[in-house]
Structure 1
Amino acid sequence: MIRCRFWPLAAVTAWLLFSPALGVPEDSGNSEESGRFKAFQPGERLNFDLHWNGIFAGTAVLTVEPLAEIGGQPAWHFLLSVRSSPFLDVFYKVRSTFEGFADLTLSRSLLYRKKQQEGSYRSDVRVDFDWEAGCARYENRGKKRAETPILPGTFDPLSVCYFLRLQDLVVGQELEAPVSDGKKCVPGRIRVVAREFVNSPAGRFDTFVLEPDLRHLEGVFKRSKAATLRVWITADEKRIPVKVKSQVKVGHFTATLVPEG
């Protein structure tokens, strides 16, 4: 069975990549720029139902945790938790968490962690972003890899999702930025292809439709010649992800925003 490292929400957050225009922290005194951080604040929680070929497969939760401290610096702390349904647990149990830590200006990542239980697969990954040395240091269950050079403004696969939510979007844009999971640093691109209304259990939303470039995606996306991936985020100042849909060799996947509880 193919290992579910391509779970829709987890996969797409790694490739929501865009231009490097930056905001500043809300307490900076710059009222025009600080307003961009109205998109999210610590305490935000977004819940998603995951479906595979129309079958309920599990849930995902995105949260903005209280501010953390990384290497003496205050940092944003983002958390994604993915959990398979009781039905799927029998065949392929998933209990995975992904954590991104970014500086307060949300201009680059400081730390990335992930713990995966996906079937028989296990991982416990830590990636430290050393900006003085210009590299990312990757460690999985105590085993270290060679350092990976990173570019200015590089994000981890989760923090980049929140950086996107600060951007002013226009249909027709093509945005780009570097991203690293600690094993490599690649250019990521995303296009704003449309604006449309979409319905979900959480309501009806005016959204931008985004299409990430899939050329650098691994796993089932790489093995599927006609793979597609689309993301719908609200067109208001919150830029909330409402829906993710992918079509790959083994079927289609969706992540849909649902109400709390």
Structure 2
Amino acid sequence: MRRIFLTVLAVLFLAVPARGTEDSSPPFGPGERLYYDIHWTVIRAGKAELICRDDTEMDGVPARYFYAKARTLGWVDNFYKVRDTMEAWTDMGVNHALRYKKDQREGSYRKKVDLIFNKRTNQSYRYTKGKLQHTLDQPEDVFDPMSILFAFRKHALYEGMRFDANVSDGKVSVVGKAFVEGREKVETGIGEVDAYRVRLDVRHLSGVFKKSDDAELYVWFSADDRRIPVKVRSKVVVGSFYMTLREYYPPDRG
């Protein structure tokens, strides 16, 4: 199970934005909260939450601020305790990443990553446990593994769409690809949701995906203006994982 649990949470943030029609007003904003149940095969293994926090500043630049965390539950918690968090900051238009932080606590494993993007030089600096480990040249506009989800949600969806965008974890920078394959009903904690099924290309993803010849990754987004990620399903060498939306609270518009 080592580092697998964070992978399940992270796959939610690996959808990629379309080179297509962008809504003038994004469906997310401060106050939006999404809560998920995480299952490994048939076992409810944990829960996760995704929050759009109040707008802030990053080095004097106005910024959007996104936060997520995941934890194990029940006997899984006793067997392999997980407490993972991720944070991401982007420009106000969610056009490129400013900073990304990950705090990984899984069993006896601990890892803290701080990834800073310099838009002026188009470079990123990845710190691990406070020490600079990687400096990487980046494309002009690049997203971290978390903010890419919100960049995706800025765009209207339709069947047959193809997507691509630059994504980096500070060690490598790749072009993520995804495809809107169809539209179907999905059972969630907020009722039955009409959703688009999006298949992600996992060939460029590391870890458990590379170890499984038949690995697959799908994300379902509500087929309305909110484009809520309501379900994630991944099949890897250690089994099948899925996340389903349990509760949803819209952004504050007051």
TM-score, normalised via structure 2 length: 0.93
Q: Which runs of 5+ in 1 are unaligned?
A: 24-32
Q: Which runs of 5+ in 2 are unaligned?
A: 250-254
Q: 1:250 corresponds to which residue?
A: 238
1:122 is the counterpart of 2:110: yes
Q: 2:82 aligns with which of 71, 80, 94?
A: 94
Deviation at 1:45? 0.6
Deviation at 1:209? 0.3
Deviation at 1:20? 4.7
How many residue pairs match? The answer is 249
Q: Which ranges of 4 or more aligned residues in structure 1 deviate by more than 3 Å?
A: 20-23
Q: Give the % identical residues.
A: 39
**Cα 1:260/1:22, change in 2 over 3 Å:** closer
Task: Letter of the 2:120 partner, please give it.
Answer: E
SS in structure 1 of the partner of residue 124 of structure 2: strand
SS in structure 2 of the partner of residue 145 of structure 1: strand
Task: Letter of the 1:54 partner, please give it.
Answer: V
SS in structure 2 of the partner of residue 170 of structure 1: coil
For residues 195 and 56 of structure 1, what CA distance do their matches in structure 2 show?
26
**Cα 1:5/1:50, change in 2 over 3 Å:** closer
Deviation at 1:259? 2.4
For residues 17 and 67 of structure 1, what CA distance do their matches in structure 2 show?
22
Task: Letter of the 1:254 partner, please give it.
Answer: Y
How big is the alpha-carbon RMSD for the aligned residues of Structure 1 and Structure 2? Answer: 1.6
Q: 2:92 corresponds to which residue?
A: 104
| Contact 2:115–2:127 (8 Å) recurs in 1 | yes
Q: 1:52 aligns with which of 40, 62, 65?
A: 40
**Cα 1:102/1:22, change in 2 over 3 Å:** farther
For residues 144 and 21 of structure 1, what CA distance do their matches in structure 2 show?
37
Q: 1:181 aligns with which of 169, 183, 195?
A: 169
Q: 1:218 aligns with which of 172, 187, 206?
A: 206
Deviation at 1:131? 1.1
Matches within 5 A, 1:162-181: 162-181=150-169
TM-score, normalised via structure 1 length: 0.91
For residues 21 and 163 of structure 1, what CA distance do their matches in structure 2 show?
12
| Contact 2:164–2:176 (8 Å) recurs in 1 | yes
Task: Letter of the 1:113 partner, please give it.
Answer: K
Task: Letter of the 1:40 partner, please give it.
Answer: F
| Contact 2:127–2:133 (8 Å) recurs in 1 | yes
Q: 2:138 corresponds to which residue?
A: 150
For residues 191 and 108 of structure 2, what CA distance do their matches in structure 1 show?
37
Q: 2:57 corresponds to which residue?
A: 69
Q: 2:252 corresponds to which residue?
A: none
